[in-house]
């Protein structure tokens, strides 16, 4: 009986102490602090959600702005090329990682007038040529294809008298190698290189790239210029098809 009485008294003392503590400023202070922390966490979570939404919105706006800029450039270039050639726009529908810098597939084919060797370009300049055609799709071989086989007759945009050939690619840099055979005419860095139209495959006057570096052979006669293509390999969504002269 004494043991039961002792336990009962102890419980009564603890309950009384707890009640009295709950009435103290210390207890109220702890309770208020917990409430403030919970409210602060809620506000912080709401702020994070808002910032996340704003960041996502800004990213979407930037993406739409860039795409709109690209489409406007494409529209202007299509209008320009349509003055001389039958031109059409196609969408890049397929790319493989293994052939990322060599081939792309588009959604236009023979039903749209596409043929083997149809010239293909971006808003910036020449992209390559069609090598395979089906009724509703085509395969484009890019200028940057490592196993490039077709020589391209080219010239500086500012000096049509200076002729050269693009017949290789530097695999490390992705630059096109342009060989010139006239030591009396010197290329300059940053010059724009265009197709000359000789050879029967590529139409004349299409921008290919910009001269980044020039080297000479041991005799100082032949020049090799390294040309950076104007297109961006990682941003190929739309292309222009030059289907022939009007």
Structure tokens at 186: 């010197």
When pLDDT is averaged across residues 226-235 and rounded to a whole number, the result is 88
244 backbone φψ class: left, alpha, beta (φ>0; ψ -120 to 50)? left
Give the tens place of pLDDT for each residue, 73-104.
Answer: 888 888 888 888 899 999 999 988 888 888 99
Q: Is the pLDDT of residue 222 over 80?
A: no
The pLDDT tens digits of the residues spanning 2-28 come to 445 444 444 444 444 444 444 445 444
Nearest to 193 by CA among 181, 179, 182: 179
- Torsion from C-alpha of 108, 110, 116, 119, nearest 10 degrees: -40
- Residue 51 tokens, joined: 């910032």
d(CA 213, CA 216): 10
Q: Which helix (H) or strand (E) holds 172?
A: none
**Tokens 């808003």 -> residue:** 123
């Amino acid at each position: 009986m004494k043991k039961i009485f002792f336990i009962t008294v102890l419980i009564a003392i603890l309950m009384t102490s707890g009640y009295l503590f709950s009435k103290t400023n210390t207890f109220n202070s702890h309770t208020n602090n917990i409430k403030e922390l919970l409210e602060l966490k809620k506000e912080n979570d709401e702020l994070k959600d808002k910032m996340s939404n704003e960041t996502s919105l800004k990213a979407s706006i930037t993406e739409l702005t860039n795409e709109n800029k690209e489409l406007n450039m494409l529209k202007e270039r299509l209008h320009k090329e349509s003055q001389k050639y039958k031109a059409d726009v196609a969408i890049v529908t397929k790319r493989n990682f293994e052939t990322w810098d060599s081939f792309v597939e588009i959604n236009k084919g023979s039903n749209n007038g596409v043929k083997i060797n149809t010239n293909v370009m971006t808003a910036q300049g020449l992209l390559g040529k069609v090598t395979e055609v089906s009724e509703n799709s085509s395969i484009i071989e890019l200028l940057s294809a490592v196993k490039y086989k077709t020589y391209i007759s080219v010239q500086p945009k500012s000096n049509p008298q200076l002729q050269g050939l693009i017949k290789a690619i530097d695999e490390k840099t992705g630059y096109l190698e342009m060989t010139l055979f006239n030591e009396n005419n010197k290329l300059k860095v940053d010059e724009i290189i265009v197709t000359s139209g000789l050879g029967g495959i590529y139409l004349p006057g299409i921008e290919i790239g910009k001269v980044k570096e020039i080297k000479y052979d041991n005799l100082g006669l032949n020049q090799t210029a390294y040309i950076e293509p104007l297109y961006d390999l990682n941003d190929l969504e739309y292309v222009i098809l030059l289907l022939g002269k009007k």
